[in-house]
């Protein structure tokens, strides 16, 4: 069965989708959820996202499962290792597969679990914001928010 919950965040409406025991998508896009019920899991995730935006939560603890190839799954697992409040470049992120930098970037772009699988923490090698399905302004907001909360690095991104 499918479930969904939504929150209004400082960067717009966020909708959480689940199938039974796993979160399958967290998105900024407008999707109709009129006939979809909430579940205990989607409500928990909505609460954790609200805590994240208040600055009270840095690590999420709920089961996720998104559809993708084995390569995409590996990329998404690697995204989970980027610490809160920090960034990495696509070049560093793909150091274990240097010839696959474009494929890694493409897999990063197919991530359907925004914020929790922190694809927003991957930036261009020159420090520029590049590619974010939710929009670069959201990426900048998320990075600045995490830096302010963690007190790591500069509190305002300069690009």
Q: In what order do the strands lie in the sheet with 22-27?
A: 2-9, 12-19, 22-27
- Domain boundaries along the sequence of the chain: 2-54, 70-150
Return the CATH number of 70-150, one of 3.90.1150.10, 1.10.3720.10, 1.10.10.10, 3.40.50.300. Answer: 1.10.10.10
pLDDT in tens, 93-125: 877 776 778 888 899 999 999 999 999 999 988
User: Is 128 a catalytic site residue?
Assistant: no
Instruction: Quote the pTM value.
Output: 0.89
Q: What is the per-residue pLDDT across 4-15, written as a single tens digit (0 to 9) for each?
A: 999 999 999 999
Q: What b/e string do you get for 90-123 counting C-beta neighbours within 10 Å, with b at 16 or more?
A: beebbeeeeeebeebbebbeebbbbbbbbbbbbb
Topology classification of domain 2-54: Double Stranded RNA Binding Domain (3.30.160)
pLDDT at 158 over 50: no
Q: Which of 119, 122, 142, 143 is catalytic?
A: 119
Angle at 137 between CA 121 and CA 82, to 5 degrees: 5
> What is the per-residue pLDDT across 64-100, written as a single tens digit (0 to 9) for each?
999 999 999 999 999 999 999 999 888 888 777 767 7
């Amino acid at each position: 069965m499918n479930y969904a919950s939504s929150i209004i965040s400082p960067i717009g409406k966020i909708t959480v989708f689940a199938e039974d025991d796993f979160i399958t998508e967290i998105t900024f896009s407008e999707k109709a959820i009129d006939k979809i019920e909430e579940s205990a899991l989607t409500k928990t995730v909505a609460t954790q996202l609200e805590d994240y935006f208040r600055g009270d939560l840095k690590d999420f603890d709920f089961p996720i499962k998104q559809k993708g190839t084995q390569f995409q799954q590996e990329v998404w697992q690697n995204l989970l290792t980027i610490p809160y409040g920090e960034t990495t470049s696509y070049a560093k992120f793909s150091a274990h597969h240097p010839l696959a930098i474009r494929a890694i970037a493409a897999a990063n772009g197919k991530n359907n679990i925004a914020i929790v699988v922190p694809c927003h923490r991957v930036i261009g090698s020159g420090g520029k914001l590049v590619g974010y399905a939710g929009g670069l302004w959201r990426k900048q907001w998320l990075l600045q928010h995490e830096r302010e909360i963690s007190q790591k690095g500069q509190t305002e991104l300069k690009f």
